[in-house]
Structure 1
């Protein structure tokens, strides 16, 4: 099977939750000589309470499903940790029982209960699966290391973890619940971390170490975040990654240094659906040298107090041909922010398509195409940098809804901007070459502010009455 096939089959079958509903985002096209009519009614409105469904405590594996996993992955042995003598009441440590039975080519089943670990468990150069049913791992109070080092110090061939929760609610307790590195396959499904992390240690890390390998992180739930100032990241794709990794319907909230940090030296990254709330630096950060995509994600920043610095929504850090599609990003309240969607200085080309962006935070851009970094490899000036079928709403005052500087190939097609905050500009360009086609811009400041720029315009309607009839809603 081609290395991308596994991920795409899994994504298409599972990215259908409430967050995946954003895949139906659509704006009607604009054509002809009449002022464009841009409808945004088809773009989904996030839930009223801006929260995803309740996160389960753990998985619900059955004897039949455990056997099915063992067969499909080809594990030689299946071990029930309770039957092997582990304490399921969370009193006696299970370190020795786990070490004795979690061996090569084994699927370990954790029945309902609490399992206390006092030391790191590491396994290398082998195959291992862990499946839980209402199973919670409880580290010793004060623990700050890695709980499961699966692929340490050498990568495994296959890693499968499903239906396991981690309890980090004790004071000064955190650490990395899972480090997963494998050549062929890494699958993390229905993994939950409870408790605000109050130690300086990033949470999950995944490395697919072969170019032909694949990784899937599905329904990962990190709802409680980390203390401000700890610099903790929710989930990251590591420096050892070479394969393709997909994140499907994950919930990452309240981390001061990125919710999802995907900066691998090789391989592609796909984000399908998901809920990313009040993360500092960025809710989702993507930097890859291969085609990568963020599709159907909902990113929200609505609490500045206690959140991280520079609360961007989606940050396209570097790479070629990155795509953000069918996403909803809302910046209602932030500490500070470069924008809802940012094209970073090192970025060489990217497209934002079919998205709804709401900005209520004053002075913050909905879309920002930053000046290129001259020292970055490749041509960071020429692009293209495309925004297609994008609606920008909200009450932000000051600044501009869309801002670009010192770039060529900036293309804004089928764009609707309506923002009613004081002195808010629409599209601001400084030393930019590009085009604005089929657009409606309704703001209180300058709808179009171009300086030393060549912006070809066609079928563009501007207004300083953002609440006028026909503006995007």
Structure 2
């Protein structure tokens, strides 16, 4: 008989986890994603490199392997919910559940979180699972009921793997997501969200209006242990939402304490943050886990594409694009599309990031003026094309910022008015800057209460090249007037 879960102390669980043998991961057979290997080959063609997490492609043996249809009686036609079958599966302490080709309906649980096993549920929903893998074998779709606005899965456990599923939110007024929080190891791989989320959305006067429907975030991941490792790979949500909704792509759980890597993912067309990775940095609540973002693509997102807030976090080899008229508005009609937004105790970098902003509200990499504490930022080998008047490529000027390094940065485009780089209240190191902006009354760099140096900068603008206040003491060396700057690449590396 298969072994069901038993009560064990935390150390016993950890010893079982660490001693479990590994074996190779089975190949992904989904045709529409073409596999993570194919995506890796494409990104390699763009000169991109994939980071490696401890939670990489390796897999663990499971004590029990079950077919959700043959062994657990689930309906693969999408007519009957599979919640009871999932409830049977998670009784085992170490189980891999295989989903054959089909469509699987997951109804909302009593706590409003789809099929749930976690710390904050109600009734049978309360409690974490052990080692659990949910793996699609073929073309497999998970779907909430039409008109539902809840997660399909809310799972907390010791070792979690969720892999190879479509998630269907094509029906009108249907919005869903997956919450996956692990203690030691998390892998979420080859997930595709289908459908632009639609609804009876209306513009409201201000945030908090009761007419704003609750839309679950597509993905809420996290690692509860400091040495926990997570990999979010080839997760794509390209269709986003209609204007006046409030839905984001990713919200990293504020209890995240480990290390989480996003690799070859896409989150596009969201009215809220595409990748909201700063919550672990919150004072008093956040557990300071790192969030690393590599080889990812973001298009037409409101608020922020890549938002980070903890030491060890970074974005690398990513592309951020906006088009005029294509960014969905918040319920109160606001649009500001930042490529990067740095909060809390961020200490990391944005490296080899391409930003192309054709939307007039597009912005570059900014700090948050009320919630930065001892922030250190390195921007290197990044290219910005800004075509909206007043847009800023880099803005780090508020108290709480300690160190800013900008090296091998290019800024081009037709933006006028305002200043391309706004720097202050920090020690700055700007080197090999190439800045060419053709719009009227455009300044290059503004300095306020700044120290440090600007070296080898080519600045070609219609306004002043450098504007500094009396409190700044910045050494400028080898300043050039003419600039032939490399352009940002707005190509989609995952296509």
TM-score range, shorter chain: 0.7 to 0.9
**Equivalent position SS for 1:99:** helix
**Is 1:392 paired with 2:406?**
no
Q: Partners of 1:101 and 1:238 in 2: how far apart?
A: 25
Q: 1:367 aligns with which of 380, 383, 394?
A: 394
Counting only pairs closer than 5 Å after superposition, residues 43-442 of structure 1 correspond to structure 2 as 72-84=59-71, 85-104=73-92, 105-119=94-108, 120-123=114-117, 124-132=128-136, 133-151=138-156, 156-175=157-176, 177-198=177-198, 199-200=213-214, 201-263=216-278, 264=280, 265=286, 266-288=288-310, 290-308=311-329, 309-334=335-360, 336-337=361-362, 339-345=363-369, 346=372, 348-372=375-399, 380-381=400-401, 383-405=402-424, 407-442=425-460
Kept after mapping to 1: 8 A contact 2:305/2:339:
yes
User: Aligned residue for 1:41?
Assistant: none
- Answer 1 or 2: higher relative contact order, Cα 8 Å, separation at least 6: 1
Kept after mapping to 1: 8 A contact 2:263/2:293:
yes
**How far is 1:92 from its partner?**
2.6
TM-score (norm 2): 0.75
Q: Partners of 1:368 and 1:187 in 2: how far apart?
A: 34
Assess, with a 3 A threshold, how the Cα gap between structure 1 residues 15 and 432 changes in structure 2: closer, same or farther: farther
Structure 2 residue runs without a partner (length 5+): 1-17, 19-24, 26-35, 50-56, 109-113, 118-127, 199-212, 281-285, 330-334, 488-495
**How far is 1:22 from its partner?**
5.7
Q: Partners of 2:417 and 2:43 in 1: how far apart?
A: 31
Kept after mapping to 1: 8 A contact 2:90/2:129:
no
User: Aligned residue for 1:451?
Assistant: 469
Q: Partners of 1:320 and 1:162 in 2: how far apart?
A: 30
Q: Partners of 1:353 and 1:269 in 2: how far apart?
A: 18
Kept after mapping to 2: 8 A contact 1:191/1:219:
yes
Structure 1 ranges of 4+ moved more than 6 A: 12-15
**Equivalent position SS for 2:298:** strand
Q: Partners of 2:233 and 2:38 in 1: how far apart?
A: 8
Kept after mapping to 2: 8 A contact 1:95/1:118:
yes
Q: Partners of 2:79 and 2:39 in 1: how far apart?
A: 38
Assess, with a 3 A threshold, how the Cα gap between structure 1 residues 228 and 421 changes in structure 2: closer, same or farther: same
Structure 1 residue runs without a partner (length 5+): 4-9, 26-68, 373-379
Assess, with a 3 A threshold, how the Cα gap between structure 1 residues 165 and 15 changes in structure 2: closer, same or farther: closer
Kept after mapping to 2: 8 A contact 1:15/1:249:
yes
Tell me the C-alpha RMSD between the 2 structures. 2.5
Kept after mapping to 2: 8 A contact 1:19/1:296:
no
**Equivalent position SS for 1:97:** helix
Count of aligned positions:
398
User: Aligned residue for 2:32?
Assistant: none
Residues 172-228 of structure 1: per-residue CA shift (max 9 Å, x gap) = 1113x2111111111100111112234522221012001111111001111111233
Residues 328-365 of structure 1: per-residue CA shift (max 9 Å, x gap) = 1111114x24x211133315211001111111111101
**Equivalent position SS for 1:227:** coil
Q: Partners of 2:161 and 2:439 in 1: how far apart?
A: 50
Kept after mapping to 2: 8 A contact 1:322/1:351:
yes
Residues 364-408 of structure 1: per-residue CA shift (max 9 Å, x gap) = 011111322xxxxxxx24x21110110111111111111123x12
Kept after mapping to 2: 8 A contact 1:15/1:273:
no
Q: Partners of 1:354 and 1:471 in 2: how far apart?
A: 12
**Equivalent position SS for 2:312:** coil
Q: Partners of 2:294 and 2:188 in 1: how far apart?
A: 15
